[in-house]
Amino acid sequence: MGKREIRGSELEKELNYILGRYPDEFGLIPDEMGYVSLKELLAVLSELGKVVTKNDINELLLRGGAFEIKGNRIRAKEIFFSRESIPNDLLPPTLYTFIRRRAHETVFREGIRYLDQMVPLFRNRESALKMGNRKTQGPVILELSTKAFRGAKTQVFALGNMLMADYIPKDSIVGPRPEAKDTKERPKGKEVGHQELPGSVVLKPEGRPFQRVPKGKKPKGWKESMRKFRKR
């Protein structure tokens, strides 16, 4: 067996371990069908010091690797994990999650619900920050009070050591609050053409209507007026 085949075989074992057995160990959140984000899987492998590309995984598939790719998501054909529903009264009083910074205000108004996956929950801030940094630059780490989950009928599931929820109600978000935007009205700059220079006098129009020049002889200019003055 050549080096390439050995490397492919080792990669296949690693992917079966991550995708088929313990995705929670690596912060991966599978959907109901067991698929996880391919981009996040490659990020996990990079954190483990493995230089793996999408082409390497495609080669495994061509050689009969036990994986399936659907769009930008991947899963193992054999899955040995399951997620279990956790009653809200058994949850710790405080949990953490992360969001993108630009979504901070919206989350405080509406809560959190994702279309393509569950909301990850963490028992400590450090774990939330580690996974948040993998997802986005400068994530906001939110502290959550699980007491509000009951009134909102939030469903929480456990996958190994990781928790996840279908919805995070806004009333459960303890903080931090979004930073207040500066709403003070800034002074408007003066229009070009009306800028006053030191020692100058600006002549302002008095708002008279536009008057047409009557037809006939043009009014005398300053030269004609001076000639008439000299003749006197």
Reported as a single tens digit per residue, the pLDDT across 151-166 is 888 999 999 888 999 9
What's the full length of the chain, in residues?
232
Q: What is the pLDDT of residues 6-40, one digit of tens each?
A: 577 889 999 999 999 999 999 899 988 999 999 99
Cβ–Cβ < 8 Å for 36, 74 = yes
pLDDT at 155: 94
Instruction: Work out the mean pLDDT of the chain and round it to a whole number.
Output: 81
Among 106, 92, 165, 176, smallest CA distance to 141 is for 176
pLDDT at 6: 55
pLDDT above 50: residue 212: no
Higher model confidence: residue 41 or residue 117?
Answer: 41
Please, which contacts does 118-121 make with residues 24 or more away whose CB atoms are closer than 8 Å?
118/29, 118/31, 118/157, 118/164, 118/165, 118/166, 119/164, 119/165, 119/166, 119/167, 119/168, 120/27, 120/29, 120/162, 120/163, 120/164, 121/95, 121/96, 121/97, 121/156, 121/162, 121/163, 121/164, 121/165
pLDDT at 208: 45
Name the band, by pLDDT with cuts 50, 70 and 90, for residue 186: low
Q: Is the pTM of this model over 0.75?
A: no
**Class of CATH domain 84-175:** alpha beta
Higher model confidence: residue 93 or residue 192?
Answer: 93
Question: What percent of the chain clears pLDDT 90, i.e. is strictly above it?
Answer: 57
Q: What is the pLDDT of residues 106-158, one digit of tens each?
A: 999 999 999 878 999 999 999 999 889 988 999 999 999 999 998 888 999 99
State the average pLDDT over residues 193-222. Answer: 46
d(CA 200, CA 218) in angstroms, rounded, equals 33
d(CA 182, CA 117) in angstroms, rounded, equals 35
Q: Where are the domains of the chain?
A: 3-76, 84-175
3-76 maps to which CATH number? 1.10.10.970
State the average pLDDT over residues 155-183. Answer: 89
Name the band, by pLDDT with cuts 50, 70 and 90, for residue 221: very low
Name the band, by pLDDT with cuts 50, 70 and 90, for residue 191: very low
Return the number of other C-beta atoms located less than 10 Å from residue 168's C-beta: 25
